[in-house]
Structure 1
C-alpha cells in the first residue's frame, strides 16, 4: 500500500524501491542465464511497479519513457547485467580452489540429454565477446580481459536494442 498511496512522496517511494524491492527482485541475478525472456520479465515487472507508484493505468496509454522520467528509478536490466559482470570479474580474480570458481568451471560427467543444451550464465558473456563458451572450458576468465564497466555498458545497450526491436515488431 505504500507504493500506491497518493499521500506518500515520490522520493520516499523511489528510495523504498531502490533499497528494498530492487534487492529482493535481483537476488541471485549474478548467476542467472541471461535470456530475452528474463529481460522481458524484468522490464515488464519494473514498468508495472512504476505505473502503480504513479497511479497510471494501462488504459491511460502513457509511454514508458515518460513514466521512467517521472519515477527516476534505476533500470533493473542494466543493474542486473552490471551485477553479473562484476560477479564474473570477482570470480575470475579468485584463487582456483575457491568453491565459486570451482563450480563455475564444473562440467558434469554424465551425458546430457538430446537437443539444444540449456543456457548457462557464461554463454551470454561469451556471445557478447563473439566467441563460443565451449572453447574456453576452465580458461573462461580470458573472456573478461579489458574494462569491465565498458563491457557492462555495451552489453546493456545491446540488450536494450534487442528489446526495442522486439517492441517495434509486436506493434
Structure 2
C-alpha cells in the first residue's frame, strides 16, 4: 500500500490505508477508483504467497450521508454493497452509530439467557449461584466491546431494562410486585449495566491516553476528519462521550492525559464517573 493517494488523511502527512487483525483486513479510501486500485494491489500481493481474497466474504460500505453504490470487483466478480457488516464481532454501520451493535448484543445475550432457562427455573440452584452464572455467561455477551460504545440515553435504558428482566426472573418477581430496580440490584449485589459501561469506557480511555502519539488508537481520539458536518446538533462520538464523563468531575480531555499516568487514581476516577452517570 505504497501509493500516496491510498487511504484517508490521518495525522500530519500520514494516511490510514488499512486496519488488519489476523486474516481480517479493512481497506479505507476516499474514492471508488482508489479503493479498486488498493483492492487489486492487495489481491496481487496475496497471490504471490498463495493466498486468495474471497469475494463472497468481502463487503464494501460507504460511510457518510450521501450513499451511492460502489462498483468494486475482485477477480472480475462484483463485491456486495452493504449498509452494515460484522467486523471482529462488532456491527459496523454506514452511519457510524453503535445502536445497531448494542441491539445485536442484547439479542445475543437474550438468546443465551433463554437457553439457560432450566438453570433459572431450578429450585436446587441458589440465587447467589444463578447471579454468578448471569454475570459470567450472559452479561459478557451483552457487553462485548462496550468500551468502544458511544452510548445514548435510550440505549442505556434498553440495556438496563434487559438486565432487570434477567434479574427479576432469577428472583422470581415481576414488575407487578412493585419492587424497585434499586431493590433488585441490592438483593442480587449487582449494579446497572450502564454504570459498568461507563467505568469500562473510562478504564479503556486510560490505556489509550497512556499510549504514544503514533498509536492509531490514540490518534483516533484526537483526530478531526476533514470536511464540513451538517447543521444542527453534533452527533455523539466516542470522544464526546468520554468528554462528558470527564466533565462530570470538572476535568478536560487535555488534563486527562496527565491524570491517566497514575493508574490507581485513574481507576478511582473511572469509578466516580460511573457513579455520577448513574445519578
TM-score, shorter chain, exceeding 0.5? yes
Query: 1:25 aligned to 2:142?
Result: yes
1:149 CA displacement: 2.3
- Please give the alpha-carbon distance, in whole angstroms, between the structure 2 residues aligned to 1:6 and 1:89: 42
TM-score between both structures, scaled by the size of structure 1: 0.77
2-structure distance, mates of 1:6, 1:129: 44
For 1:24-103, what aligned pairs fall within 5 Å after superposition?
24-103=141-220
Q: Does 1:153 align with 2:266?
A: no
Q: Which has the higher contact order (CA 8 A, sep 6+)?
A: 1
Structure 1 residues 128 and 67: CA distance shift in structure 2, 3 A: closer
Q: Deviations over 1:104-155 (max 9, x none)?
A: 2222223212221111112233234439xxxx8xxx4533443222322322
Match of 1:130 among 238, 247, 254: 247
- Structure 1, unmatched stretches of 5+, are 162-171
Q: Is contact 1:50–1:71 with CA below 8 Å preserved after alignment? A: yes
Mapped contact 1:3–1:53 kept (Cα < 8 A): no
Gaps of 5+ in 2: 1-116, 260-264
* Structure 1 residue 84: Cα displacement: 0.6
Distance 2:188 2:247 in 1: 36
User: If each structure's helix is expressed as a fraction of its own residues, which one has the higher value?
Assistant: 1
Query: Displacement of 1:3 after TM fit?
Result: 4.9
- Distance across 2 between alignment mates of 1:116 and 1:83: 27
Change (3 A) 1:145 1:95: closer
| Larger radius of gyration between Structure 1 and Structure 2 | 2
Query: Which residues of 2 match residues 101-120 of structure 1 at below 5 A?
Result: 101-120=218-237
Tell me how far apart the structure 2 counterparts of residues 6 and 65 of structure 1 sit (CA, whole Å): 25
Two-structure CA RMSD over aligned residues (Å): 2.3
Give distance in 2, aligned partners of 1:144 and 1:5. Answer: 48
Q: What is the TM-score with the length of structure 2 in the denominator?
A: 0.49
Q: Where in structure 1 do 4 or more consecutive aligned residues deviate above 4 Å? A: none
In 1, Cα distance between equivalents of 2:201 and 2:244 = 14
- The 1:145/1:42 distance shift into structure 2, 3 A limit, reads farther
